[in-house]
Amino acid sequence: MDDVKVVFTTNPGIEDIVVEEVSAKLGATILEQRSGKGRVLASVPLANIDLVDSLRSIHRARILLYQDTICKKEECLGMIKEAIRGTDIPRYVTPFTTFAVRAERVGEHDYSSLDIARVAGDAVIEVVEMTHGKRPRVDLDYPSVIVVVDVINDELYVSIELGGDLSWHRRGYRIYDHPAALKPTLAYAMLRISGARDGDTILDPMCGGGTVAIEAALLFESSRIICLDKNPRHIMGARLNARAALVEPRIEFIVGDATRLSRYIDRADIIVSNPPYGIRMGSPREVRALYKRFLEEAVKVIDKSITIITTEHVVAKQVLSKHDWEIVEDRIVAHGNLHPHIIVAKR
């Protein structure tokens, strides 16, 4: 077998970034892109499967063993058992490995995710015993192999998890956790969407825990990267995170106010930032005034593009347009339980 089908999950709204990355790094052929659903299906050369952990835009990667429709009635649980019997699961689960089933159900069904996990677990034990002559051991806490069974409305997926229980978006460098931290996968996507190139001066003027700056330092070798925040505690936390990511020397840390940006920065090429959404600030008027002051300073010092993620997209676009900046990208993404816009503006 030269290729395997792999399901990549990501933050809804950045599926195209996953497509670009898995195509470039894995030499994958894209089979399906579910925009807005956070899923990409690709055919990946088996020789490149170990490179999956180098991807920066994904949350999970799973080798797809089975995909078909399934009905929503309780008696259709038997379809899951038959599906698993017909897969290549004994190649991954043997009597010498421990395994666990992780099941997820989306939609209205007459059965629960627990029912799915129970039926699937019994089927895995049965097919492995038939193939190898001995039962595999179940370990729900620390399994060496995770079998994933997803029932999404009327679709059934059976797959093998490549990254264990932890999502790849949980970077190991996150020592200091900012209260409004941006997911690293979104930070990576914003850097890509911004049009930033290696050698650009990249600035995050409201850097919080430093996620954008760290992802930029990991992505680009020659760029000048600046992490500015008016809260000294956040700057200290950003330094800790950068140190854990082994990129602290690559980043300039400045305690400063983004609404007075020109006092600290003469010129920069790119802004990529996650400014406050206003939820914690309480007053919509206050947050809109903040955006106005910040963006009016940003256009003074930025040469190429400004990329922000925000729920205050209307006021941001109004201010940027007033200063003759063109909105070249406006996409909605999921961030927690919110759906902010990623806006890219260029001169």
Q: Note whether 54 and 99 are same-domain residues.
A: yes
Is 251 a member of any domain? yes
Q: Note whether 252 and 336 are same-domain residues.
A: yes
CB proximity list for 118: less than 8 A, separation 6 or greater: none
Is 151 a member of any domain? yes
Q: Note whether 87 and 144 are same-domain residues.
A: yes
Q: Note whether 340 and 197 are same-domain residues.
A: yes
Q: Note whether 144 and 255 are same-domain residues.
A: no
CA distances from 305 to 5, 34, 135, 315 (A): 37, 28, 58, 17
Q: Which residues pair with residue 306 across a beta bridge?
A: 271, 345
Residues 92-134 have pLDDT tens digits of 999 999 999 999 999 999 999 999 999 999 999 999 999 999 9
Q: Note whether 135 and 26 are same-domain residues.
A: yes
Is 168 a member of any domain? no
Confidence (pLDDT) at 276: 85
Of 161, 196, 214, the residue at which a domain comes to its end is 161
Beta strands in 178-249 (DSSP E): 201-204, 224-229
Please state the φ and ψ torsions of residue 283, each to the nearest 5 degrees: -100, 120
Q: Note whether 83 and 191 are same-domain residues.
A: no
Is 6 in contact with 62 (CB distance < 8 Å)? yes
Q: Note whether 90 and 200 are same-domain residues.
A: no
CA distances from 120 to 176, 229, 241, 274 (A): 39, 50, 40, 42
Confidence (pLDDT) at 168: 80
Residue 245 CA from chain centroid, whole number: 17
Q: Note whether 251 and 142 are same-domain residues.
A: no
Confidence (pLDDT) at 332: 96
Number of domains in the chain: 2
Low-confidence ranges of the chain (pLDDT < 50): 281
Give the separation between CA 228 and CA 42, rounded to whole angstroms.
38
Q: Note whether 120 and 195 are same-domain residues.
A: no
**CATH number for the domain including 223?**
3.40.50.150
Confidence (pLDDT) at 283: 67
Residue 249 structural domain: 184-346
Quote the radius of gyration of the chain (alpha carbons, Å): 23
**CATH number for the domain including 13?**
3.30.2130.30
Confidence (pLDDT) at 277: 75
Is 213 a member of any domain? yes
Is 315 a member of any domain? yes
Q: Which residues pair with residue 66 across a beta bridge?
A: 158
CA distances from 137 to 97, 100, 119, 121 (A): 7, 9, 16, 11
**Helix residue ranges, H only, 224-283:** 232-244
Is 98 a member of any domain? yes
Residues 134-155 have pLDDT tens digits of 999 999 999 999 999 999 999 9
Is 80 a member of any domain? yes
Here the tokens at position 58 are: 């994904």
Is 170 a member of any domain? no
Q: Note whether 191 and 338 are same-domain residues.
A: yes
Q: Note whether 154 and 289 are same-domain residues.
A: no
**Cα 85–141–79 angle (5° rounding)?**
20
